[in-house]
Amino acid sequence: MKIVVGGATSVGKSIVGYLSLGDNDIVVVDEDSENLNEIAKEYDVQPVLGSISRPDIQESIDMKNMDMLIAVTDSDEVNMVACQVAYSLFNVPRKIARVDSQYFLNPLWNTLYNEKSLPIDLIITPDIEIAKFIDNLLNLPGSTAVFPFMNDAVNVFSFRLQTNDIPFIKFSLKHINQKLEEMSAQIVLIMRGNRRVLPHKEEETRLQRNDIIYISCFSEQNTEIMRLFGVDHNPYEKIVIFGGNAISYYLASQIEKNENISSCRIIEDDADEAAKLAERLNSTAVITGEMMSDIILQDAGFASADVSVAVTERDKDNMLLALLASRNRDTQAISLINSKDYGLLSANLRDNVNINRSVITISAILKYLRKARIREAYSIGQGMGEIWEIRLGDDSVNIGKTVADLNIPESSSVMLIARGEELIYNYNNIRLTADDKLLVYVTPINIRRIESIFYL
């Protein structure tokens, strides 16, 4: 696919990092030569100096032959104009714009975004997506990821198995899944270091400590199922957030609606930013000062916090804060990571959950990137694969086939079939019907093959 990314700051770089893993020709446009040089050194892209909103710049990169424009500069106006130019002058089929301002996101102006007004196919707000992801983690204590599907009725969630002291540990995956199926649940994927385990293809495998387990079920069963695996956290009550920015604002706004959470404090070292946050939030306490200061940490109640959330723009600070949190006996650490290098360094900290900016951002646009009938999609990590929700239409060529007839490659799998109110895991003899919904795990190497299977 030929893709133009407008903007080479943190959001653009995170998107390029993910796109570069696939078979894509990528052009990056930015007005800052330093940003361009940095991204060109790290990834195989064509860097172009200039504003993505200018017609002459778009013409110079042969925009008329591009498949997609992803405009993610720090300016909402530039991103929107870039999409307008790409549509009006060069007829680009897919246009995605980053929009952060609440003025443009107000539901009152939804009718603005169409072919007659502003031809934008998808608006993304990365900071809101990151805040939503963290909020899902806070609502399921002990989880490392929560992916909602089927209009939030079904979840695929993950957690790390941290103990050998559970009854399930001695049984095979086949036996465990037979028991879980009675609850309409199933282990659908295991990450064991850098290795993927697909349970229905390795049925005799047994769980191991430090496995990251992905389970699908109806969303109201999440906590009950986690308890079966020895993950039994009390609801989080006290939260400390490091970094006063859009992510912490959106997250604190949601936390203020959560009756389980009694205390939320934000620490920000810039007095002006802290004051702006304090004006906009209601019950959240905003503390100004050096984040690593013992006095500031004491004022924030850091030692007794259930969760530490570090969402500063500086990976080094987020990692150090996770390290500090790991010294507290009962504090869960959640860290925003922009660089894969820092992600590797902090991954082994006790109870630390890394939030990878590129993975969250790309998940918001996956269904527009893939050539298949995808209703929802999430990346589970760079190089680790994706989960797609696919609904079979009346005209699907797959109606009447079994899953075996689809010839899904060995390293990927159909996780489940949702039919009406039923989740079907034992689908070997089931023939697909119109309106069936499938959850499919797709490895990076199989993306093009599985796109072709579900294209029609």
Q: Which residues of 372-387 are buried (b: 16+ CB within 10 A; e: fewer)?
A: bbbebbbbbebebbbb
User: Which residues neighbour 167 within 8 Å (Cβ) at sequence distance 6 or greater?
Assistant: none
Q: Which of 38, 149, 145, 44 is nearest to 384 (CA)?
A: 145
The pLDDT of residue 107: 59
Query: Residue 181's pLDDT is what?
Result: 93
pLDDT at 103: 60
Closest alpha carbon to 69 in 21, 121, 104, 146: 121
Q: What pLDDT, on a 0 to 100 scale, did the predictor assign at position 132?
A: 95
pTM of the model: 0.89
Question: How deeply is 456 buried, as exposed, middle or buried, from its count of CB atoms within 10 A (0-12, 13-18, 19+)?
Answer: exposed
Q: How far is 20 from 18, CA to CA, in rounded Å? A: 5
Cβ atoms 186, 180 nearer than 8 A: yes
Other C-beta atoms lying within 10 Å of the C-beta of residue 13 = 23
Domains within the chain, CATH numbers bracketed: 2-124 (3.40.50.720), 142-228 (3.30.70.1450), 238-360 (3.40.50.720), 365-453 (3.30.70.1450)
Helices in 306-444 by DSSP H: which ranges?
315-326, 340-346, 357-363, 366-369
**Long-range CB contact pairs, 49-54, < 8 A, 24+:** 51/78, 52/4, 52/6, 52/7, 52/78, 52/79, 52/82, 53/6, 53/78, 53/79, 53/81, 53/82, 53/85, 54/85
Q: Which backbone phi and psi does 195 adopt, to 5 degrees? A: -105, 140
∠ CA 189-135-79, rounded to 5° = 95
Query: For the range 20-29, what are the long-range contacts, defined as Cβ-Cβ under 8 Å and sequence gap of 24 or more?
Result: 20/44, 20/45, 21/382, 21/383, 21/444, 22/444, 22/447, 23/448, 25/1, 27/2, 27/3, 27/61, 27/66, 28/4, 29/4, 29/5, 29/57, 29/61
pLDDT (0 to 100) of residue 348: 53
Q: Residue 171: left if φ>0, alpha if ψ -120 to 50, beta else—which one?
A: beta
**Helix intervals (H) in 216-339:** 222-228, 246-255, 271-280, 294-299, 315-326
Residue 193 is predicted with a pLDDT of: 85
Q: What is the pLDDT of residue 165?
A: 79
CA 167 to each of CA 172, 182, 217, 311: distance values in angstroms, whole numbers, following the listed order: 11, 17, 20, 37
Please give the chain's pLDDT, 456 residues, in tens: 899 999 998 889 889 988 887 788 999 999 999 999 999 999 999 999 999 999 999 999 999 999 999 999 999 999 999 999 999 999 999 999 999 886 655 555 566 666 666 889 998 998 999 999 999 999 999 999 999 999 999 999 999 988 777 878 889 999 999 999 999 999 999 999 889 999 988 999 999 988 999 999 999 999 999 988 888 778 899 999 999 999 999 999 999 999 889 999 999 999 999 999 999 999 999 999 999 999 999 999 999 999 999 999 898 999 999 888 888 878 889 999 876 655 555 455 556 898 988 889 899 898 888 878 899 999 998 788 999 999 998 989 999 999 999 999 999 999 999 999 999 999 988 999 999 999 999 998 999 899 999 987
**What is the side-by-side order of every strand in the sheet holding 212-218?**
145-149, 154-160, 212-218, 186-192, 195-197
Predicted confidence at residue 340, as pLDDT, reads 60
pLDDT of residue 294: 93
Specify the pLDDT at position 21: 79
The distance from CA 28 to its chain's CA centroid, rounded to whole angstroms, is 22
Tell me, rounded to whole angstroms, the distance of Cα 232 from its chain centroid.
24
Residues near 385 by beta carbon (within 8 Å), at least 6 away in sequence: 196, 379, 412, 441, 442, 443, 444
